[in-house]
Structure 1
Amino acid sequence: MTKLFLSALTAALILSGCAETGLSKTQTGAIIGGLAGAAAGGATGNHSAKRVLIGGAVGALAGGGIGYYMDKQEEELNKELKGSGVEVQRQGDTINLNMPGGITFDTGKANIKPNFNPVLDDIAGVMTKYPETKIEVHGHTDNVGSDASNLSLSQLRAQSVSSALTTRGVGSDRIKAIGFGENAPVATNDTPAGREANRRVEIKIIPNPAQ
């Protein structure tokens, strides 16, 4: 059994080079899931090789399934949001949608611009097709104005987007709206371009561990 766990540990270290080997996110997820399942199988008290192998197989299926589920969402979001100004980013199994403030809200306002509504239609359409995820809507501002006013504005903007998604059929129990004010910049606030980048709303689509 010691050899089995040492082998699993060695394989885990090898995974750090997965990005260079050409493995897809789904394949990597399956390998990670398999290692986790093997460890869990060996920790149940029945230290048999059979139990470890079963645990690894179940874990691989779960890991690959999550990766595939998120891969399909990312693929559809990229297709639907092409040319919209919304940037689709992938971090592990989390999908991030970066929506610049200039295309979503007027300066100092929390009402969504009418011409952005079709984009929200597309985002909500994909989200309703993939219900086994959690959604966090993050509001951000630059540092112009007081801390209190920026925090309030970021919260209102996050809530506006959250409400828009709910109105379009996305379950409210899946969505959490959070305002960060000026506290999570992605660029310097010393230049107009940097401040513009910081004025944004982000949607994070996260696998639901309960599923």
Structure 2
Amino acid sequence: MNRLSLSRRFVIGGLGLTALSACTGTQYNRPAGSEIDEGAFGDSTMQNMLVMNGEAPALSHLGTRFAAEVPTTINFAFNSSALDATARAVLDQQAAFISTFPEVRFSVYGHTDKVGSNGYNKRLGLARAKAAVAYLASRGVSLNRLEALVSFGETRPLVPTQSRERANRRAVTEVAGFVGDHPLVLDGKYGQIVYRRYVGGAAGQASASSVATSAAAPAGAGQSAGNSGGGG
């Protein structure tokens, strides 16, 4: 074999090894999904499992139902976490829905407008979320299913303004997950949960109609945040 033929064989062999190492090396030998979660493979694996076993689609569907069938948001007076009659009527509807689905957990998020300091509004948002949770608990909802009281403070306004804005002074209730040790959840029978008929509609409508007659009622759970500077 002449020297030229031998050189060609080494070049071709080298190219083959390079291609093989590219397919089996670190770049292409990582678990699927590791690129999109920046290496936190456990997160992408968990999400894939939730999708495959039906839990993620079921939660998404139930969250959509909750938002469509029940008002998810209550609003507050300026610098206050007190619940007015309208807020209590909305929470009555939420409590009826939540009671219909004992397998499901919910979260409440508090918000403020832009008036006041960020730190003060963070505390005020949390006070609003706590007021909503306390009222839901008073309507028979277990605190074990009302999790993660979070305050976004002034960081997520619905109306972009620095002024007082009632729409931004709110607490929002959302579907958070399933109760892990509930028999239907353990058996993966999400369909029986998701497609269950919401039986609290009539009660919710009655609560809403009572707002006009109870507008002068006491404010209920929650009070002003109480600070000389105040906030939204």
TM-score, normalised to structure 1's length? 0.53
2:113 and 2:163 in contact (8 A); partners too: no
Residue 112 of structure 1: CA displacement? 0.4
CA distance in 1, matches of 2:117, 2:66: 39
- Give me the identity figure in percent: 25
1:163-202 correspondence runs (5 A):
163-175=134-146, 176-190=148-162, 195-202=165-172
Tell me, what secondary structure is at the counterpart of 1:138? strand
The one-letter code matched in structure 1 to 2:173 is I
Q: Which runs of 5+ in 1 are unaligned?
A: 1-8, 10-35, 38-58, 87-96
CA-to-aligned-CA distance 1:86-108 (integer Å, 9 cap, x gap): 3xxxxxxxxxx3x252xxx2221
Q: Which residue of 1 aligns with 2:173?
A: 203
Q: Name which one, 1 or 2, has greater alpha-carbon Rg.
A: 2
Q: Which runs of 5+ in 2 are unaligned?
A: 1-31, 33-47, 186-232
The one-letter code matched in structure 1 to 2:110 is G
1:1-211 correspondence runs (5 A):
36=48, 62-63=53-54, 67-68=57-58, 71=61, 74-75=64-65, 78-79=68-69, 81=70, 86=71, 97=72, 99-101=73-75, 105-175=76-146, 176-190=148-162, 195-208=165-178, 210=180, 211=185
1:142 and 1:196 in contact (8 A); partners too: yes
1:100 and 1:197 in contact (8 A); partners too: no
Structure-2 change in CA distance of 1:196 and 1:118 (3 Å): closer
Structure-2 change in CA distance of 1:134 and 1:74 (3 Å): same
CA distance in 1, matches of 2:80, 2:95: 22
Structure-2 change in CA distance of 1:197 and 1:76 (3 Å): closer
CA distance in 1, matches of 2:135, 2:143: 10
Q: Which runs of 4+ in 1 moved over 6 A?
A: none
Structure-2 change in CA distance of 1:72 and 1:174 (3 Å): closer
Q: Which residue of 2 aligns with 1:28?
A: none
Residue 66 of structure 1: CA displacement? 5.9
The one-letter code matched in structure 1 to 2:81 is A
2:111 and 2:153 in contact (8 A); partners too: yes
TM-score, normalised to structure 2's length? 0.49
CA distance in 2, matches of 1:180, 1:73: 20
The one-letter code matched in structure 1 to 2:152 is F
Q: Which has the higher helix share?
A: 1
**Larger relative contact order (CA 8 Å, sep ≥ 6):** 2
